[in-house]
Amino acid sequence: MSEQDGTQASTLQRPANDDKEAWIAYWKSQGQEWRIEPEIDKKRQDELDEYRKVPPDIEKGLYPFNDIILDRADVEWLLATHENGRGPVDWSDESQRERKGLDLRGADLRYANLSKLPLAGMIGGLLPTEDKLEAILAEINLEGANLTEAHLERCT
Protein backbone atom coordinates (compact mmCIF):
# COMPACT_ATOMS: atom_id res chain seq x y z
CA MET A 1 0.00 0.00 0.00
CA SER A 2 1.18 3.46 -0.81
CA GLU A 3 1.45 5.60 2.29
CA GLN A 4 0.48 8.76 0.39
CA ASP A 5 -2.79 7.76 -1.21
CA GLY A 6 -3.72 4.43 0.39
CA THR A 7 -3.76 2.55 -2.93
CA GLN A 8 -1.97 -0.64 -3.76
CA ALA A 9 0.80 -0.25 -6.32
CA SER A 10 0.60 -2.59 -9.30
CA THR A 11 3.56 -4.95 -9.22
CA LEU A 12 2.10 -7.74 -11.31
CA GLN A 13 3.88 -8.56 -14.54
CA ARG A 14 2.27 -10.06 -17.63
CA PRO A 15 1.86 -13.79 -17.05
CA ALA A 16 4.23 -15.80 -19.19
CA ASN A 17 1.82 -18.67 -19.79
CA ASP A 18 -1.88 -19.46 -20.06
CA ASP A 19 -2.43 -19.56 -16.28
CA LYS A 20 -5.98 -18.19 -16.25
CA GLU A 21 -5.91 -17.17 -12.58
CA ALA A 22 -2.67 -15.23 -13.10
CA TRP A 23 -4.19 -13.44 -16.09
CA ILE A 24 -7.33 -12.54 -14.12
CA ALA A 25 -5.16 -11.01 -11.39
CA TYR A 26 -3.08 -9.21 -14.00
CA TRP A 27 -6.10 -7.71 -15.77
CA LYS A 28 -7.55 -6.61 -12.44
CA SER A 29 -4.28 -4.83 -11.62
CA GLN A 30 -4.57 -3.06 -14.98
CA GLY A 31 -8.10 -1.81 -14.24
CA GLN A 32 -9.68 -4.23 -16.73
CA GLU A 33 -11.66 -6.41 -14.33
CA TRP A 34 -13.90 -7.54 -17.19
CA ARG A 35 -11.00 -9.41 -18.81
CA ILE A 36 -10.57 -13.05 -17.81
CA GLU A 37 -8.76 -14.64 -20.74
CA PRO A 38 -5.04 -14.76 -21.53
CA GLU A 39 -4.11 -12.15 -24.11
CA ILE A 40 -4.27 -13.31 -27.73
CA ASP A 41 -0.97 -13.68 -29.57
CA LYS A 42 0.51 -11.00 -31.84
CA LYS A 43 -0.50 -12.83 -35.03
CA ARG A 44 -4.17 -12.88 -33.97
CA GLN A 45 -3.96 -9.24 -32.86
CA ASP A 46 -2.69 -8.28 -36.31
CA GLU A 47 -5.48 -10.30 -38.00
CA LEU A 48 -8.18 -8.64 -35.88
CA ASP A 49 -6.66 -5.23 -36.47
CA GLU A 50 -6.86 -5.78 -40.24
CA TYR A 51 -10.51 -6.91 -40.01
CA ARG A 52 -11.34 -3.87 -37.90
CA LYS A 53 -9.97 -1.58 -40.64
CA VAL A 54 -12.41 -2.90 -43.28
CA PRO A 55 -14.84 -0.08 -44.03
CA PRO A 56 -18.46 -1.21 -44.04
CA ASP A 57 -19.97 -1.36 -47.52
CA ILE A 58 -23.69 -1.75 -47.01
CA GLU A 59 -24.50 -2.14 -50.73
CA LYS A 60 -22.06 -5.04 -51.06
CA GLY A 61 -22.91 -6.50 -47.66
CA LEU A 62 -19.32 -6.18 -46.44
CA TYR A 63 -18.58 -5.56 -42.78
CA PRO A 64 -15.41 -5.68 -40.69
CA PHE A 65 -15.96 -9.16 -39.29
CA ASN A 66 -18.02 -10.91 -42.01
CA ASP A 67 -18.17 -14.59 -41.01
CA ILE A 68 -15.13 -14.28 -38.73
CA ILE A 69 -15.33 -16.52 -35.66
CA LEU A 70 -14.51 -14.54 -32.55
CA ASP A 71 -14.15 -15.86 -29.02
CA ARG A 72 -14.10 -14.00 -25.73
CA ALA A 73 -10.32 -13.42 -25.81
CA ASP A 74 -10.69 -11.78 -29.23
CA VAL A 75 -13.50 -9.53 -28.04
CA GLU A 76 -11.59 -8.61 -24.87
CA TRP A 77 -8.60 -7.51 -26.97
CA LEU A 78 -10.83 -5.59 -29.40
CA LEU A 79 -12.46 -3.80 -26.46
CA ALA A 80 -9.14 -2.97 -24.79
CA THR A 81 -7.72 -1.55 -28.02
CA HIS A 82 -10.94 0.14 -29.21
CA GLU A 83 -10.40 3.64 -30.60
CA ASN A 84 -6.59 3.39 -30.54
CA GLY A 85 -6.49 2.18 -26.94
CA ARG A 86 -9.20 4.41 -25.50
CA GLY A 87 -11.00 1.23 -24.56
CA PRO A 88 -14.65 0.28 -24.28
CA VAL A 89 -17.49 2.74 -23.86
CA ASP A 90 -18.02 3.28 -20.13
CA TRP A 91 -21.78 3.79 -19.93
CA SER A 92 -21.57 4.96 -16.31
CA ASP A 93 -19.60 7.99 -17.55
CA GLU A 94 -22.22 10.23 -19.18
CA SER A 95 -19.56 12.01 -21.24
CA GLN A 96 -18.91 8.71 -23.10
CA ARG A 97 -22.50 7.92 -24.03
CA GLU A 98 -22.17 9.40 -27.52
CA ARG A 99 -19.12 7.27 -28.36
CA LYS A 100 -19.56 4.38 -30.77
CA GLY A 101 -18.77 0.98 -29.41
CA LEU A 102 -17.16 -1.91 -31.26
CA ASP A 103 -18.39 -2.54 -34.79
CA LEU A 104 -18.75 -6.32 -34.78
CA ARG A 105 -21.16 -6.54 -37.72
CA GLY A 106 -21.02 -9.89 -39.46
CA ALA A 107 -19.09 -11.61 -36.65
CA ASP A 108 -19.72 -15.20 -35.62
CA LEU A 109 -19.94 -15.19 -31.82
CA ARG A 110 -21.85 -18.45 -31.47
CA TYR A 111 -21.51 -19.93 -27.99
CA ALA A 112 -18.98 -17.28 -26.91
CA ASN A 113 -18.87 -16.34 -23.25
CA LEU A 114 -19.45 -12.60 -23.36
CA SER A 115 -20.68 -12.31 -19.79
CA LYS A 116 -19.85 -9.10 -17.92
CA LEU A 117 -18.18 -7.50 -20.95
CA PRO A 118 -18.53 -3.72 -21.46
CA LEU A 119 -20.26 -3.85 -24.86
CA ALA A 120 -22.17 -0.56 -24.56
CA GLY A 121 -22.67 1.13 -27.92
CA MET A 122 -21.71 -2.00 -29.87
CA ILE A 123 -22.79 -2.07 -33.51
CA GLY A 124 -24.15 -5.51 -34.24
CA GLY A 125 -26.62 -4.81 -37.02
CA LEU A 126 -27.73 -2.05 -39.30
CA LEU A 127 -27.89 1.48 -38.02
CA PRO A 128 -31.34 3.14 -38.19
CA THR A 129 -30.26 5.14 -41.26
CA GLU A 130 -29.12 2.09 -43.25
CA ASP A 131 -31.10 0.07 -45.80
CA LYS A 132 -32.97 -2.79 -44.13
CA LEU A 133 -32.57 -5.06 -47.19
CA GLU A 134 -29.01 -5.87 -46.13
CA ALA A 135 -29.87 -6.49 -42.48
CA ILE A 136 -29.18 -10.22 -42.47
CA LEU A 137 -25.57 -9.73 -43.65
CA ALA A 138 -24.85 -7.18 -40.96
CA GLU A 139 -26.14 -9.20 -38.01
CA ILE A 140 -23.85 -10.69 -35.42
CA ASN A 141 -24.49 -14.38 -34.89
CA LEU A 142 -25.04 -14.69 -31.13
CA GLU A 143 -26.63 -18.14 -31.12
CA GLY A 144 -25.96 -19.71 -27.72
CA ALA A 145 -23.72 -16.82 -26.60
CA ASN A 146 -23.63 -16.02 -22.88
CA LEU A 147 -24.51 -12.35 -22.40
CA THR A 148 -25.19 -12.57 -18.66
CA GLU A 149 -24.53 -9.18 -17.04
CA ALA A 150 -22.95 -7.83 -20.25
CA HIS A 151 -23.33 -4.08 -20.69
CA LEU A 152 -25.45 -3.73 -23.81
CA GLU A 153 -26.62 -0.15 -23.43
CA ARG A 154 -27.43 1.57 -26.75
CA CYS A 155 -26.35 -1.35 -28.92
CA THR A 156 -27.66 -1.54 -32.47
pTM of the model: 0.87
| Predicted pLDDT of residue 132 | 60
- When mean pLDDT is compared across 61-70, 93-102, 141-150, the lowest value belongs to 61-70
| Predicted pLDDT of residue 9 | 43
pLDDT in tens, 1-10: 333 444 444 5
pLDDT in tens, 88-129: 999 999 999 999 999 998 899 999 999 999 999 999 876 666
Query: Which residue has better confidence, 1 or 58?
Result: 58
- Does residue 152 register a pLDDT over 90? yes
* Domain ranges (residues) in the chain: 1-31, 38-138
3-state secondary structure the chain: CCCCCCCCCCCCCCCCCCCHHHHHHHHHHCCCCCCCCCCCCHHHHHHHHHHHCCCCECCCCECCCCCCECCHHHHHHHHHCHHHHCCCCCCCCHHHCCCCCCECCCCECCCCECCCCECCCCECCCCCCCCHHHHHHHCCECCCCECCCCECCCCC
